[in-house]
Structures are given as C-alpha cells and as structure tokens.
Amino acid sequence: MVTRVHRPAILVAAPASGQGKTTVTAALARLHARQGRRVRAFKCGPDFLDPMWLELATGQPVHNVDLWMTGEDDVRARLYASAQDADLVIVEGAMGLFDGEPSAADLARRFGLRVLAVIDASAMSATFGALAFGLQHYRAGLPWAGVLANRVGSPRHAQLLQAALPAGDAIAPASWLGAVMRNAAFKLPERHLGLTVAGELPDALARLDAAADALQHTSLGQMDAEALQRWSVAFDSPPEMQPTPRLLTGQTVAVARDAAFCFIYAANLDTLRELGAKLVFFSPLANEPVPACAAVWLPGGYPELHTHALADSLTCRDSLKAHVAQGRPLWAECGGMMALFDAIVDTEGNHHPAWGLLPGLVRMQPRLAGLGMQQLALSAGVLRGHTFHYSTCETALQPTKRTDPGRSCAAGTGEALYQHGAVRASYFHAWMASSPAAAAALLSPGTLA
C-alpha cells in the first residue's frame, strides 16, 4: 500500500554551472538549520564535492539523486525517507536546469519539486528577465518557486533586475525572491575537479554562515515554516524493494579515507554494510597500514595533490602489496587507481613516484580527459556510475573490460577496467546501490566476468 507524506521541498537550479547554486543551496540549508529546523539536502547528479558542503550546512548525511545513475525508485525511496522527519527538503541541481538527459528539470517534474532558479546577474540587467522567463516556460509543467539574483552589484542593480521580470498572472505569478550581493566572504573556492573540499578549509562553516546571513535579507531567506508550506510536495512511498543479498557477510572491507581519497558516496558505504560487510577505514596519507581485511577499496580523490606524502607512505604501500600478493582483492577507482601506477606526471612534466602496484603511469592534463555517465556490465549485474578525470593512463596492461556510455548522447569507448592479479582498477566511479551483487563482485576473489 502506498503511503504519502507532505513536506516543503525545493530544487535549486541555474541556467548554467558557475552561477552560485551550491552557495545558495548551502546558505538556504544553513539558514533554516540555524533556526532549529531539520533540513535534508540532496545533490542531483554524480558530484562528490557539493554534498560535502551541503552536509556541513545541514549536519545530516547528503545523498545523490539522479533519474539515470541512481534510478527513479532509488530517488523516490531516498526522498520519501528524508521527508519522514525533515522540515525542509532541498535538492541542488546539476549543470544547467535542462542540461543532461535526464536533467534536473526532469527530476523536478517527476517528483513535483518547486524550482528555484539562481542566476548570476553580475553582468546583466533586463536580460535577467528573459532568462528567468525562459527557465520557467521552456518546458511545460515545470513546478516553479521563483528566481534569485546572485552576485548583484548594488541595491539599484537589484531594482533593475526585479523590474525586468514579466508581470505576474494567474499562470505565471511574479517570481522575484530577492538579490544576494557580491561578497568575497562567502565565496566557495574551486580547483580543477570543482569546489575545494569543505573539510580542508578552517573557515568553511564561517563562509556558509556569511552566505546565510546575506540570504536572510531576501524574500527567500525570510520565509518561515508557515510560508514554506506553499512549496509542500507529496512524497509517495517507493515500491517494495528486493532485499540486498548478504554476499559479503563476515567479510571486512578496508576503505581508504583521507584528503587524497575522499570521493566516497555515503550510499556506497551503506550498500557495503547491507551486503553484510564490516567496514574499517585507514589513511594512506598518514602512512597507516591496511587493516586486517578480506578486501580493500581505494576510492577516488586527489592523489595528484599529495604525491610527496603518498611517495613517503611506504608502510601503507607495502601493506597493499602484501594484501594483493595473498590474492585478496583491491578495487581502485579513479584517484585510487592513479596512486597504484609507477608514477604520476604533473602538467609541467615532473614525474612523481607512486606505489608501483600497476605498471605504467598517469599523466595530468590541463583539460578534462573524461566526463560522463558510464555503466559497467559484469556477470553479477550492471553497475551504473560516472567518470570525471583530468589525467590519462599510459600502461601496457590490456583492459579486461570497458564501461559503456550511460546515455544516448554520450560518446567514446568507455573507461578501461584493468585486472592485474588481485587488483581491479578503473577511472569508473561506481554507484554501488545500482547493483549490490556487482559491487560485491568487485570486492570478491576471482576474475571479473
């Protein structure tokens, strides 16, 4: 039997990347969390970094939702579960509102999430109205909350932007939700893979508080619990899910987790626990040895920023070599794989020694070398996920398998999956909940098929 719960919910979107939607999403979440409300936030798409900022803002776990990568039933289950005890549900969109197939707009339409459009208005006036009108009306049936002008230069600038919006009517009510002024105090710093990891900045929470303070002066920021009810959404319970097979019962999985290996979906850890695994964590940057375990997972992250520390982590390296020498599986994805090669070559051509568990090297590039949704077909099931990297791999190893582009608009040959003894490695980031059985296969002995 389907049950239903009503909660205020909003999807924060933009006409393009770089408009400030993560800052606004985190500021809105932080503002209501400071007022004592329980806020649950989600990130549309496969991003690892934005959820870290949203988790800091809310104090709650942040999961990814995507109609393709995670699947509609998974999205429905996560939204419904969060709505049980949340006062406000916020979903941050990905890229531009209509970018991707399916897009953030498709997610909003599927679940009735009101769309708040954040527009960087720093270099426009009347065109702001055209953009807002286009976002609202480009696709029929888009639930609409309003528009927020971001990086505004002055109160007079804000007046011009508001005046540019078309007059409201019964179908398209006036949607001005205010203006946030330019302020370096709450700018979230970036680097080559996106935002800087929140945990690396000692003033990260202060930045979010400054952004929340600025948002509090807008109509959006002044909405109280009663006003939020106009964005109430009916969340239906998901269909009954098949129980996760306990394929890793009694097995310990060691997970690398530190600043070099930080791209970890919370849902992946949940999936491994549901498979029956006991999880233990270790830090290669701290030169910690691999704990006693049946399998190791080296997630992605930023090994290229920590080459000297990783080269010096000989205890960790040697314990990894001993682990695989005993035939115990090691799954390394993206940054985890990079650290296993003989060397990492930076963009200036400097060679930095790595751990040498895989022959060859990875070479950093000034531009993206891989981007997009991917899926990996194994005999145990099909894992969905994505790829996003700035390096290329040079190795004599031949791929055991390749991923397939996950969407019809994607191109290319997919990412290689290498198997070298007990090591399995790829640039592919897996969403393990898409096929728990396939995730268990990555961490189980034997040749992947």
Q: What is the DSSP letter of 218?
A: S
Residues ≥6 apart with Cβ < 8 Å to 140 = none
State how far the alpha carbon of 282 is from the alpha carbons of 263, 308, 314, 329, 430, in Å.
14, 18, 14, 16, 20
Of residues 381, 435, 387, the one with CA closest to residue 410: 387
State the burial class of residue 228 (Cβ atoms within 10 Å of its Cβ: 0-12, 13-18, 19+): middle
Alpha-carbon gap, residue 19 to 187, rounded angstroms: 12
Within 10 Å of residue 245's Cβ, how many Cβ atoms? Answer: 14
Rama region for 68: left / alpha / beta (φ>0; ψ in -120 to 50; rest)? alpha
User: What region, left, alpha or beta, does residue 45 occupy, with left being phi > 0 and alpha being psi -120 to 50 degrees?
Assistant: left
Question: Is 334 labeled as catalytic in the residue annotation?
Answer: yes
The Cα–Cα gap between 148 and 158 comes to 10
Structure tokens at 26: 């985190």
> Which pair of structure tokens corresponds to residue 384?
């969905």
Tokens of 361: 């090297």
Active-site option among 293, 316, 334, 393:
334
Cβ neighbors of 87 (< 8 A, separation 6 or more) are: 7, 8, 32, 37, 38, 39, 225, 228
Query: In terms of DSSP bridges, do strands 278-282 and 252-256 run parallel, antiparallel, or are they unpaired?
Result: parallel
Tell which residue, 207, 151, 199, 206, has the closest CA to residue 179: 151
Give me the count of residues in the chain.
449
Active site residues: 334
